[in-house]
Structure 1
Amino acid sequence: MMTFAWQIVSARAKRGGTLLRAVLMGASLVISTAVPPVAEAQTAPPPDHVISDYFPGPWTILFDRNSSKIDPGLSDYLDRILEADLVLGHVKLLIKGHASSVEKAGVAARRAAAVRDYLVRRGLRRAQMKVVDAGTSEPRRPGGTAAENQRVVVTTLAE
């Protein structure tokens, strides 16, 4: 079992201009608030492009041949998606599985499902995610190696 330890930079609440600062350490969540004077114009929702400040994606996860097992060393990388969800609130994700032409049928779908299941175990809701099996139809680049096509790509979806 992995322990989370990160700090979310101040995020402005949608109503009242309250600043929230959250620190997640293990299983405990500490929230402190401060209410600075805020002009009404500053409480407008952020523009759509702000999501890229927190979620630079796309996130690419590589796999071994014919495998859908996520390398344990990638957990910190995948946990950044959870940080984006904490800051932005229920980010919608597209999880697309890919395979090389030398792999068994269905491995791309199993890879995408493995990433989705990992994120669900970490607290995201299945309803936030759309899983797609791209199979061998979208190689990373023409003439690329099999290894670079053995992947899952996670991107945000516009609402």
Structure 2
Amino acid sequence: MTASATARLIRLAAALRAGMRPHPEDAAWAAQRLDAIAAGADPVRALDLGAADTSGRRKALQHRDNLIRGAAAIHLADMSRRAQAITLQHKLARYAASGWRWEASGDAPPQHRAGKLEGLLWAILKTGAPVPTSARQFQNILSRRKCETHCVRNFTRGSPASAA
């Protein structure tokens, strides 16, 4: 929702709750949007209620998923997909609760984690995308399309910029 749409809706709600007439510009804006909805427009788009940047979230999720697939392909290749999912779930949860708290502010993983699975765990958390909480979620991510591991391999060699 854009700032102006948010502000307008807050002002409209406040005026209506108080039994007052809304500001003429807000009333005209609302009337135009409601007319569009009545004519069949998507309410979320008509009211400008969509997320400000859904493409940014989508990119973060794709990047996170690619890093998860890459971590499994590079560091856990000798395991079954289920075992990879369980291992990633446990290791990521443990790292998020411990070392990540002190290492999150860096622009790159700490030197002692670079090139290791923990370096990729750092990168997964650094995407800012929600972290899967169950082994089933990890398994679903791992079973989707194959990861192009070249970006992950570049990252594990110490070049996080090329992983993005």
Given the two structures, how large is their TM-score scaled by the length of structure 1?
0.30
> Where is the strand percentage greater, Structure 1 or Structure 2?
1
> Where is the helix percentage greater, Structure 1 or Structure 2?
2
Higher relative contact order (CA 8 A, sep 6+): 2
Decide which structure has the larger Cα Rg and report it: 2
